[in-house]
């Protein structure tokens, strides 16, 4: 989850747009792409994304993501 948090944080900082809900980004990356980028399995990425959604850190719809708690992602990425 830490490696995925770091990659999402990187995407948000480079390509994100501030929105009322947080930082919004549209990514051409699939869960398989994120898995390859983080060195994790697709199932591991899906589980981590689910956990992040449940914690309220982000919201996802297809390839659009809203980072709702960027500070929580930073803390998890640094852990």
Could you report the per-residue pLDDT of 39-74, keeping only the tens digit for each? Answer: 999 999 999 999 999 999 999 988 889 999 999 999
- pTM (global) more than 0.75: yes
- The stretch 6-22 carries a mean pLDDT of 93
Give the CATH number of the domain where residue 46 resides: 1.10.10.10
pLDDT at 63: 80
Identify the sign of the CA torsion 68, 70, 42, 44.
negative
Residues 6+ apart with CB under 8 A from 16: 23, 24, 25, 67
Residues 6+ apart with CB under 8 A from 51: 1
Virtual CA dihedral for 12, 13, 18, 24, nearest 10 degrees? -10
In which domain, by residue range, is 15 found? 2-78
Predicted confidence (pLDDT) at residue 2 exceeds the cutoff of 90: yes
The number of domains in the chain is 1
Euclidean distance between CA atoms 57 and 71, whole angstroms:
9
């Amino acid at each position: 989850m830490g490696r995925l948090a770091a990659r999402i944080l990187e995407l948000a900082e480079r390509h994100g747009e501030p929105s009322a809900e947080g930082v919004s980004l549209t990514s051409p990356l699939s869960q398989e792409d994120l898995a390859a980028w983080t060195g994790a399995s697709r199932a591991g990425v899906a589980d981590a994304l689910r956990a992040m959604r449940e914690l309220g850190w982000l919201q996802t719809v297809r390839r659009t993501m809203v980072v709702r708690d960027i500070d929580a992602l930073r803390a998890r990425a640094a852990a």
